[in-house]
Amino acid sequence: MTRQRRAELADNLARVRERIEQAARTAGRDPDEITLVVVTKTYPAADLDLLADLGVQHVGENRHPEAADKHAQVAGVHPLVWHFVGGLQTNKAAAVARYADVVESVDRLALVTALSTAALRAGRELDCLVQVDLELEQREVRSGCRPDEVPAMAEAVAEAEGLRLGGLMALAPLGAEPRPAFERLAHVAAHLRTEHPDAGVLSAGMSGDLEAGVEVGATHVRIGRAVLGERGRSR
Ligand SMILES: *Cc1c(COP(=O)(O)O)cnc(C)c1O
């Protein structure tokens, strides 16, 4: 079983890396500028073992405590960089700050405060990305800041002790073309870098739209299904 799963993951990884290379070439970019974050949510720690063995260095999780459980099982064995990519409740910030290296979903001031306090208490420096909401319509529940809220949120992160402002993260809008949305994101990112030249991370692109992310300058793509398989299917 393990050998079969390993072969499957190796195959999928090769295909995803090929897509990244191809997209980078098409965009006239160096593929080495693009970091692959494999989003392992819902998949077991055994898969993270195999992925680390296959050269994956960055993993993403979207839920606490699932992420904490896997971190506890794997972190002592493999030196992975852990990205927290999901919506984060303020009351879970302290726990997440103990194991996450990067929190990609910072979208409100209460979370900045909670992460800062927790990072200081844990004696850690957390890289934070401000999540940008690219949906055009107003919705009741947002994840991410509106583009016009990004400068203030970025400033808050930059000023918070224990936190480092890495850059921006976004998901393409549901059911809409990713490219125009990612172009808006790239614009927000360019503006951010005029104020914060070191905040060069742009996390954009998933299994279905990594090419669009790479085209607008993504430095990080977050890939789940294309590496691990469709979630919720028997394997
Ligand atoms: C699940 C998830 C991904 C990966 O999505 P796939 O479509 O499986 O590649 C990327 N980013 C976030 C925030 C996610 O929750």
Kindly report, residue by residue over 51-85, the tens digit of the pLDDT: 999 999 999 999 999 999 999 999 999 999 999 99
What average pLDDT score do residues 132-157 get? 92
Q: Which fold has domain 2-228?
A: TIM Barrel (3.20.20)
Dist. CA 223 → ligand 1 center (Å): 6
What pLDDT was estimated at residue 171?
97
- Domain segments of the chain: what residues? 2-228
d(CA 154, CA 17): 31
pLDDT score for 15: 98
What was the pLDDT predicted at 142? 80
| Mean per-residue pLDDT, 33-54 | 98
Q: 178 CB under 6 A from ligand 1?
A: no
Q: Is the pLDDT of residue 39 over 50?
A: yes
pLDDT computed for residue 138 by the predictor: 77
Mean pLDDT over all residues of the chain?
Answer: 96
Give 222 Cα–ligand 1 centroid separation in angstroms. Answer: 6
- Say if ligand 1 is within 6 A of residue 227 CB: no
pLDDT for the residue 235: 46
Contact 57, 81 (CB under 8 A): yes
Q: What is the pLDDT of residue 140?
A: 76
- pLDDT given for residue 141 in this prediction: 78
pLDDT of residue 232 exceeding 90, the answer is no
Distances (CA, A) of 51 to 7, 10, 15, 68, 84: 11, 8, 14, 18, 17
Greater confidence (34 vs 137) lies with 34
Give yes or no for residue 36 CB within 6 A of ligand 1: no
Q: Residue 8 pLDDT > 90, yes or no?
A: yes
Q: Six-digit token pair at 38?
A: 């494999």
Tokens of 224: 């789940």
Of the candidates 13, 3, 19, which has an alpha carbon nearest to the alpha carbon of residue 40?
A: 13
Does the pLDDT of residue 88 top 90, yes or no? yes
Q: Which two tokens mark 234?
A: 């028997």
Specify whether the CB–CB gap between 17 and 204 falls below 8 A: no
Q: Which amino acid is at 229?
A: G
The model's pTM: 0.97
Could you report the per-residue pLDDT of 186-219, keeping only the tens digit for each?
999 999 999 999 999 999 999 999 999 999 999 9
pLDDT score recorded for residue 233: 62
Please report where in the chains the tokens 């200081």 appear, as a residue.
120
User: Measured between alpha carbons, how far is 105 from 125 in angstroms, rounded to an integer?
Assistant: 16
Please, are residues 127 and 164 in contact by the beta-carbon 8 Å criterion? yes
Which is more confidently placed, 232 or 97? Answer: 97
> What residue owns the CA closest to ligand 1's atom 11?
222
Residue of 20, 143, 222, 231 to mutate, ligand 1, most atoms within 8 A of C-beta? 222
pLDDT of residue 25: 98
How many angstroms separate the CA atoms of 204 and 210, rounded? Answer: 7
Q: Is the CB of 213 under 6 A from ligand 1?
A: no
Distance between Cα 165 and ligand 1 center (Å)? 22
Q: Say yes or no to pLDDT of 234 above 90.
A: no
Q: Which atom of ligand 1 is nearest to the CA of 105?
A: 13
What is the rounded average pLDDT of the residues 75-97?
97
Q: What is the pLDDT of residue 136?
A: 87
